[in-house]
Amino acid sequence: MQSSSAAPAHHAPGVPPVPTVAAHFASLDVQQHAARLGMWLFLATEILLFAGLFVCYANYRFMFPDGFAAASRHLDLTLGTINTLVLITSSFTAAMAVHYAKEAKNRQVVVMFILTILMALGFLVIKYFEYSHKIHVGQLPGPYFTDPEPSLQVAGVPMYFTIYFLSTGLHGFHVIIGMIVLAWVGFKANRNEFSARNYTAVELGSMYWHLVDLVWIFLFPMLYLI
Partner 1 sequence: MSAIANESFKEAQNMQEEHHGGAAKYAIIWAALMVLTVVTVVTGRMHLPNWGLALALVIASVKGALVALYFMHLADHRGANRIVFITSMVFVVLMLLFTLFDIGTRFRPALAASGTPIAWPVQTGQSMPYSTTGTNEAPERRSHE
Q: For residues 155 and 212, what is the distance between their CA atoms, to the nearest angstrom?
A: 31
**Which of 3, 5, 22, 48 lies at the binding interface for partner 1 (CB under 8 A)?**
48
DSSP for 67-95 reads: HHHHHHTTS-HHHHHHHHHHHHHHHHHHH
Residue numbers 171-210 binding partner 1 by CB under 8 A: 203, 206-207, 210
| Shorter beta-carbon distance to partner 1: residue 143 or 148 | 143
Q: Cβ 191 to partner 1, closest distance in Å?
A: 23
* Structural contact between residues 109 and 101, judged by C-beta atoms closer than 8 angstroms: yes
Q: Among candidates 209, 218, 198, which has minimal Cα distance to 35?
A: 198
Total residues at interface with partner 1 (CB under 8 A): 56
| Shorter beta-carbon distance to partner 1: residue 10 or 24 | 24
Q: For residues 10 and 20, what is the distance between their CA atoms, to the nearest angstrom?
A: 13
Q: Cβ 134 to partner 1, closest distance in Å?
A: 20
- Provide φ and ψ at 198, rounded to 5°: -145, 95
* Structural contact between residues 158 and 128, judged by C-beta atoms closer than 8 angstroms: no
| Stretch binding partner 1 (CB under 8 A), from 12-20, 38-46, 119-127, 174-182 | 38-46
Q: Does 43 bind partner 1 (CB under 8 A)?
A: yes
Q: For residues 32 and 51, what is the distance between their CA atoms, to the nearest angstrom?
A: 28
| Stretch binding partner 1 (CB under 8 A), from 2-10, 62-70, 165-173, 186-194 | 62-70
Q: Cβ 136 to partner 1, closest distance in Å?
A: 22
Residue numbers 77-96 binding partner 1 by CB under 8 A: 77, 81, 84-85, 88-89, 91-92, 94-96
Residues lying near partner 1 in the complex (CB under 8 A) are found at 24-27, 29-30, 33, 36-37, 40-41, 43-44, 47-48, 51-52, 54-55, 58-59, 62-64, 77, 81, 84-85, 88-89, 91-92, 94-96, 98-99, 102, 143, 155-156, 203, 206-207, 210-211, 213-214, 217-218, 220-222, 224-226
